[in-house]
Structure 1
Amino acid sequence: MFTIRQILVRMRQGDTDRNIARAGLMGRKKLGLLRRQAAQWNWLDSQQPLPGDAELAAALQRRPEGQPTQCISSLKEHEQRIAEWVAQGIQGTTIHAALVRQYGFRGSYSAVKRLIRRIRASEPPQVTSRLTFAPGEAAQVDFGAGPLLADPRTGELRKSWFFVMTLCWSRHQYAELVWDQKVMTWLACHRRAFHWFGGVPERVIIDNAKCAITKACINDPEVQRAYGEYAEGYGFRIDPCPPHDPQKKGIVESGVKYLKRSFLPLRDFLHRDDAQRQLQEWVLGEAGNRIHGTTRQAPLKRFTEVEKALLQPLPENPPEISEWTRPKVHRDGHIQYGRCYYSVPFRWVGQQLWLRATASTIRIYAEQELVATHPRLFQPGSFATVKDHLPPEAQAWQTRDVQWCLQMAEGIGPHCHAVVHQLFADRQLVHLRSVQNLLGLRERYSPQRLEAACERALHFGNARYKTVAEILKKGADQTPLSIPGTDPDSTYTRGGRFLRDSKTLFH
């Protein structure tokens, strides 16, 4: 309205449309239309006062007499449909293509674009409120993509991540370069951040990363068990943002962006330790002493003068860095963690247990009951097995080795020892399980009967488990054994079972 009033004043003073257009106030075509409207409403009479802004706006919104009415939009019948598509987030080019394909629309994409612009303009604006925090009340945490750094083991370039914790009141921050976003890395970064600040905030505002929140939910989020224990040990509360709403932690989001734009460009890093050293110097120097865009003060100054003293003190005995998982016991009585395997008592096979891993130990629980403890392994494919965890048959297989079998057989008798020795002397088969089962016959029958059965098997030259077991089953071990050459009426001679002398042969 201010521009319209200027134009009307110049028209009253006798300026032509050409001169007014040269001043850049309005084009000549629109000036001609305005002049006709002004003459119709008697606004060009210098003796009359100019109308107010409200009267001008109401009059200019009316269509002058004789002016043709506006043409009907070619999208009139599709407006409701297009409004629904826009609400679904479908882009304009896709909407235009669908109208052409499905409804035979012949208009241009510009018509669709103008309608979409009007639809979006009619929507109510999204209103937000700025979050305010007291000193020491809260910190916000986030990860951000870091530079490619040389892996200390292989020397190859490897992706890294920024861990950033920002105090919400002072905007002072802690930043660290890490290789991954695992639970134990997450907890270790928290510990170093708290020691960097010299205290602990009352609550920590986080995103829904898997290392912290196992189930993202607005009302009932589920916290990673290890992170919950950590929060309890340090005395802070966890405040996860609602899903898909990162604006609730906009302070640290802005801090990560500032770090990427100000610290990363035009820097060279020899390795991760060198990059971490430069990062800490940058936080205490440039980032800490800049005038922050929101607080209009230096973050480091606000932190040292006010917020540091209001943080909670560090605990005398900080909680242990650990990770809880819920593995299932395999059929072999082991569970897997970190590509290593740890045994549990065989009665838990097929069930899910709780595993708590620290830097040095692995503890396995059935709810609150501790069922196994192992030193932590780091070589992939390694096994930590306690023999008492195995079922009896597996323990027997592992403990009753060749030497044990020979000693046990020797204690039963010389014939049993001879049978076992012959079985182990086989160059084709191992026979360990056969010998173990053969020695087990002493419990079913008796050591004396087993010794007699082995003597009979040796006598007939058939020292096998099946032979000994059949002799015991039929009770043949209790029948007196005829030794060749001792009985003159015997059909056997010293030469063998099927050899006879001439007297017997031609009798």
Structure 2
Amino acid sequence: MIKVEDWAEIRRLHRAEQIPIKAIARRLGISKNTVKRALAADEPPTYRRAGGGSIVDAVEPQIRALLAEFPEMPTTVISERIGWQRSMTVLKDRVRQLRPLYRPVDPASRTTYQPGELAQCDLWFPPVKVPVGAGQQAGLPVLVMVMGYSRWLMARMIPSRAGGDLFAGMWMLLRMLGATPKTLVWDNESAIGQWRGGRPQLTTEASTFRGTLGVQIVQCRPGDPEAKGLVERANGYLETSFLPGRSFTDPDDFNTQLEGWLGHRANTRHHRRIECRPADRLVTDRAAMVALPPVAPVVGWRSSTRLARDHYVRIASNDYSVHPSAIGRLVEVVADVQQVRVTCGGQSVAAHPRCWAAHQTITDPAHAQAAAAMRRARLQLATTPAADTPVQQRPLSDYDTALGIDTGQGVVA
């Protein structure tokens, strides 16, 4: 077998110098057949050593038969079935080569999206703690949504992953978008739902939310991250491109910086997959989406309770004061990511900014003053002495006469 250099020289002499085969053979000291084979070969010669066989070759038909029926059979079980008494290393190597031939193929799908078709949603937990007040810092979730057709990216930090905050955050993003995709793709987030018995089951909050919007919520199968690869890559992009070198004073500052970066950087960059900017496709994408409902969906924290004597209501581990005039009456509590409102009989009895810190007591000074005045009035009522009213007193002899008692003056008949 000739070397690569000789093969290249033969082809040069024949093609460029127009030297006959016989002359090339004489010049290089090789046979004419070797020169002919070199000219006929389009690829350089490579050395291939003939295989010497393996001790597994004799039992390979048995291995193939077992894998054809049981593709996932462990190598240890295969060795028992075929009575293997030799090295397990060579057997494992051969089984490793043969198993893919019998295992069902699971190729990754490359999906294309139609305008308005869907958005992929996820929670991103940035590795940074944000001041939330009361001297506390917390690692808060960021709700991320990516439109399938335009790749338009939206994100916003929310107080928690609980359903009340999650759906309130989704509604805020959809209102900013001005429409809603026909399908929202989620993984098995606890507030969305979970797979039971091989079937997805949405929570009551998720079913109510999608019903009001008139769209579909699709839950990915467990262990299938490729099903929402768009938002998974967006999470990585946020962590590597938005987060480095930034500091935040509070969640509002985080959202302000994030919104500015999304508008001026993320959604105006050239996207390699779609060969344009997300902003260039947004109009077409939004035009094919479902219009927002005329009545906003019920989102946030909502509850009804009879106000106790301490006149406080609890939302996500925090207590908020209510005007004490509502004590003992039924109050309606509504909270979103920004505000907590309490009404009684249609009248507002409390309004507080939402506290993102944990285990805090938020008191309105007006509520505290009203409670103190009511306590003083009740105490004064309890300590006021009774009025000194004259009462007529009857002689005791009147009672003796009525009961027929002898008082020495004779018995009354």
Q: TM-score, normalised by structure 2?
A: 0.57
User: In the superposition, relative to structure 1, how do residues 376 and 76 fare at CA in structure 2: closer, same or farther (>3 Å)?
Assistant: farther
User: In the superposition, relative to structure 1, how do residues 132 and 140 fare at CA in structure 2: closer, same or farther (>3 Å)?
Assistant: same
Instruction: State how 1:200-219 maps to structure 2 within 5 Å.
Output: 200-213=180-193, 215-217=194-196
Secondary structure in structure 1 of the residue aligned to 2:184: strand
Q: Quick one: distance in 1 between partners of 2:135 and 2:93?
A: 53
Secondary structure in structure 1 of the residue aligned to 2:181: coil
Q: Quick one: distance in 1 between partners of 2:100 and 2:333?
A: 52
Structure 1 counterpart of 2:139: 159
Q: Quick one: distance in 2 between partners of 1:135 and 1:261?
A: 28
Q: Quick one: distance in 1 between partners of 2:34 and 2:117?
A: 67
Q: Quick one: distance in 2 between partners of 1:324 and 1:242?
A: 30
Q: Higher helix fraction: Structure 1 or Structure 2?
A: 1
Q: Say which of 76, 94, 118 aligns to 1:138.
A: 118
Q: Quick one: distance in 1 between partners of 2:318 and 2:159?
A: 21
Amino-acid identity (%): 19
Q: Say which of 189, 202, 214 aligns to 1:235.
A: 214
Instruction: Check the 8 A contact 2:168/2:300 in 1, yes or no.
Output: no
Q: Is 1:319 matched with 2:297? A: yes
Q: Is 1:261 matched with 2:281? A: no
Structure 2 counterpart of 1:246: 225
Structure 2 counterpart of 1:308: 286
User: In the superposition, relative to structure 1, how do residues 148 and 122 fare at CA in structure 2: closer, same or farther (>3 Å)?
Assistant: same
User: In the superposition, relative to structure 1, how do residues 152 and 362 fare at CA in structure 2: closer, same or farther (>3 Å)?
Assistant: closer
Instruction: Check the 8 A contact 1:148/1:157 in 2, yes or no.
Output: no
One-letter amino acid of the counterpart of residue 292, structure 2: L
Offset, 1:108:
5.5
One-letter amino acid of the counterpart of residue 140, structure 2: S
One-letter amino acid of the counterpart of residue 46, structure 2: M
Structure 1 counterpart of 2:16: none
Offset, 1:188:
1.9
* RMSD of aligned Cα (Å): 5.3
Offset, 1:210:
0.8
Offset, 1:133:
3.0
Secondary structure in structure 2 of the residue aligned to 1:152: strand
Structure 2 counterpart of 1:393: none
Offset, 1:105:
5.9
Q: Quick one: distance in 1 between partners of 2:302 and 2:90?
A: 57
Instruction: Check the 8 A contact 2:302/2:335 in 1, yes or no.
Output: no
Q: Quick one: distance in 1 between partners of 2:221 and 2:342?
A: 34
Q: Quick one: distance in 1 between partners of 2:72 and 2:248?
A: 50
Offset, 1:165:
0.7
Offset, 1:172:
0.5
One-letter amino acid of the counterpart of residue 199, structure 1: A
Secondary structure in structure 2 of the residue aligned to 1:147: coil
Q: Say which of 160, 167, 170 aligns to 1:180.
A: 160
Q: Quick one: distance in 2 between partners of 1:177 and 1:75?
A: 60
Q: Quick one: distance in 1 between partners of 2:188 and 2:31?
A: 64
One-letter amino acid of the counterpart of residue 248, structure 2: L
Q: Quick one: distance in 2 between partners of 1:261 and 1:192?
A: 25
Instruction: State how 1:342-421 maps to structure 2 within 5 Å.
Output: 358-359=335-336, 360=340
Task: Mark the structure with the bigger radius of gyration.
Answer: 1
One-letter amino acid of the counterpart of residue 234, structure 1: L
Offset, 1:201:
1.8
Structure 2 counterpart of 1:65: none
Structure 1 counterpart of 2:308: none
- The Cα offsets for residues 438-460 of structure 1, whole Å up to 9 and x where unpaired, read as xxxxxxxxxxxxxxxxxxxxxxx
- The Cα offsets for residues 421-475 of structure 1, whole Å up to 9 and x where unpaired, read as xxxxxxxxxxxxxxxxxxxxxxxxxxxxxxxxxxxxxxxxxxxxxxxxxxxxxxx
One-letter amino acid of the counterpart of residue 176, structure 1: R
Structure 2 counterpart of 1:426: none
- The Cα offsets for residues 20-69 of structure 1, whole Å up to 9 and x where unpaired, read as xxx96312745xx9xxxxxxxxxxxxxxxxxxxxxxxxxxxxxxxxxx87
Instruction: Check the 8 A contact 1:170/1:299 in 2, yes or no.
Output: yes
- The Cα offsets for residues 181-220 of structure 1, whole Å up to 9 and x where unpaired, read as 111221122122112212222221222211111x424875
Q: Say which of 243, 259, 262 aligns to 1:283.
A: 262
Q: Say which of 176, 183, 189 aligns to 2:169.
A: 189
Structure 2 counterpart of 1:148: 128
Instruction: Check the 8 A contact 1:218/1:243 in 2, yes or no.
Output: no
Instruction: Check the 8 A contact 1:284/1:300 in 2, yes or no.
Output: no
Secondary structure in structure 2 of the residue aligned to 1:174: strand
* More RCO (CA 8 Å, sep 6+): 2
Q: Quick one: distance in 2 between partners of 1:28 and 1:314?
A: 68
One-letter amino acid of the counterpart of residue 160, structure 2: D
Secondary structure in structure 1 of the residue aligned to 2:151: coil
User: In the superposition, relative to structure 1, how do residues 284 and 336 fare at CA in structure 2: closer, same or farther (>3 Å)?
Assistant: closer
Q: Quick one: distance in 2 between partners of 1:161 and 1:381?
A: 20
Instruction: Check the 8 A contact 2:64/2:98 in 1, yes or no.
Output: no
One-letter amino acid of the counterpart of residue 181, structure 1: R
- The Cα offsets for residues 357-385 of structure 1, whole Å up to 9 and x where unpaired, read as 6454789xxxxxxxxxx989999699xxx
Structure 1 counterpart of 2:17: none
Instruction: Check the 8 A contact 1:206/1:241 in 2, yes or no.
Output: yes
Structure 2 counterpart of 1:87: 72
Secondary structure in structure 1 of the residue aligned to 2:129: strand
Offset, 1:115:
2.3
Q: Is 1:27 matched with 2:47? A: yes
Instruction: Check the 8 A contact 2:71/2:103 in 1, yes or no.
Output: no
One-letter amino acid of the counterpart of residue 255, structure 1: A
The alignment of Structure 1 onto Structure 2 pairs a total of residues equal to 313
Secondary structure in structure 1 of the residue aligned to 2:97: helix
Offset, 1:339:
5.3
Instruction: Check the 8 A contact 2:108/2:226 in 1, yes or no.
Output: no
Q: Quick one: distance in 2 between partners of 1:243 and 1:311?
A: 28
- Give the unaligned 5+ runs of structure 2: 1-6, 12-29, 304-312, 320-331, 344-348, 362-378, 392-402, 409-413
